[in-house]
Structure 1
Amino acid sequence: MARLLDARTSQNKSYTDLDSTTILQANTPTPIGVVGLNTIGASGTIRVQFTGIAELRLPDPLTPDTVIIIIIVRGTDLTGIPVARALYGTGNTVSPIQVITINASDYNVPYPPSNELIYTLFLFCTIEATRVGMESFNAIAFSD
């Protein structure tokens, strides 16, 4: 039977703010959420489940080759172990507002000597965009 170890949320914004002036620089992976999960008492297989969301306003008119990437890594920077990545192409999108989501799992995670698993959510876009919110990163750790 699965045992809940820890659940955490990193919340940057919980609402949409169309007047936001926070810029996501082009071609620059930007951390938008970090969670540390306590693994004390874990036994057997450790697994972690994630959800993440971000909302961007892209320049108008949209360029059809724009790509938005959302990445989860085990660690605090991009040299960490990649866990999941989702790519969104804007293609023929009509709206400059883009809601980006990710759902992922990290299975059979090695037990950390520090008793803490750290994960970071990064957002990346091939053009400069405005971070209009929501930005939230959730993680739940289980063991056997």
Structure 2
Amino acid sequence: MHGTKRNNLNEEKPHYSETSYHYADNTFNLATYDIQNNRLEEKTMVRTHDARTSLGSNGVNPLNVPLAQNTPTLVGILGLNISNPGPLIRTQFNGTYRISVANLSSQPSSILIEIFRGSTHTSTPIYVVSQPIFPAEASILASFEGSDYNVSPPPSGQLIYSCYLTFVPVSPMEQATRVGPECFNAVTYSDD
């Protein structure tokens, strides 16, 4: 038997595991190979259910849509399809909105960004941030990033998120205009 090596059955095999991550069928898996027990164990970590974008403008051509004072304005809405979710649903979202401003007073005004789980301004609020607009600025790029954690499975199979902007001026003479780009993105995951 030249060229072959016989293992002594009493010889102890080294014990180690190798961990790798791979993506297939919208699932992130953790694979561990155990040499001593000669087996591959694979555990699902996270399953991606859906990813959506609500694009109001790519910014190439200005929107030039007035943003009313102190009035929540729907600027993005999306529905994420959830099919047979695992035990822990969570959503990550982000967005960007360019707003031009005019006639600002000497005090900073602000843009209020609100994300709701649902399609209306009276739905469940999950994220609120205010971005100041200083008098020297002609426009702002309001960007945000957040998450919704431990979400109940939607009975309809669709998880809806909406994004509202509110221009909060210091003076009634101030004006705000949506110029773009405008986008609202979300991805939803669950354990498997």
TM-score range (shorter-chain normalised) is over 0.9
- SS of corresponding position for 1:89: strand
Rg bigger for which structure?
A: 2
Q: List alignment gaps of at least 5 residues for structure 1.
A: none
After superposition, where does 1:9-88 map in structure 2 within 5 Å?
Answer: 9-15=53-59, 17-18=61-62, 20-88=63-131
Amino acid in structure 2 at the alignment position of 1:90: I
1:6 aligns with 2:50: yes
Tell whether the 8 Å contact from 1:62 to 1:96 is kept in structure 2 after alignment: no
Q: CA deviation at 1:134?
A: 0.8
Amino acid in structure 1 at the alignment position of 2:138: P
- SS of corresponding position for 2:102: coil
**What root-mean-square deviation, in Å, do the aligned CA atoms of Structure 1 and Structure 2 show?**
1.4
Identify which of structures 1 and 2 has the higher relative contact order when contacts are C-alpha pairs closer than 8 Å and 6+ apart: 1
Amino acid in structure 2 at the alignment position of 1:57: S
TM-score by length of 1: 0.92
What corresponds to 2:189 in structure 1? 142
Q: List alignment gaps of at least 5 residues for structure 2.
A: 1-44, 170-174
- In structure 1, what is the Cα distance between the partners aligned to 2:47 and 2:64? 42
- In structure 2, what is the Cα distance between the partners aligned to 1:39 and 1:46? 9
TM-score by length of 2: 0.70
What corresponds to 1:110 in structure 2? 152
- SS of corresponding position for 1:42: coil
Pick which of 59-68 and 5-14 moved more: 59-68
Count residues with an aligned counterpart. 142
- Name the % identity: 36
- SS of corresponding position for 1:15: coil
- In structure 1, what is the Cα distance between the partners aligned to 2:60 and 2:100? 11
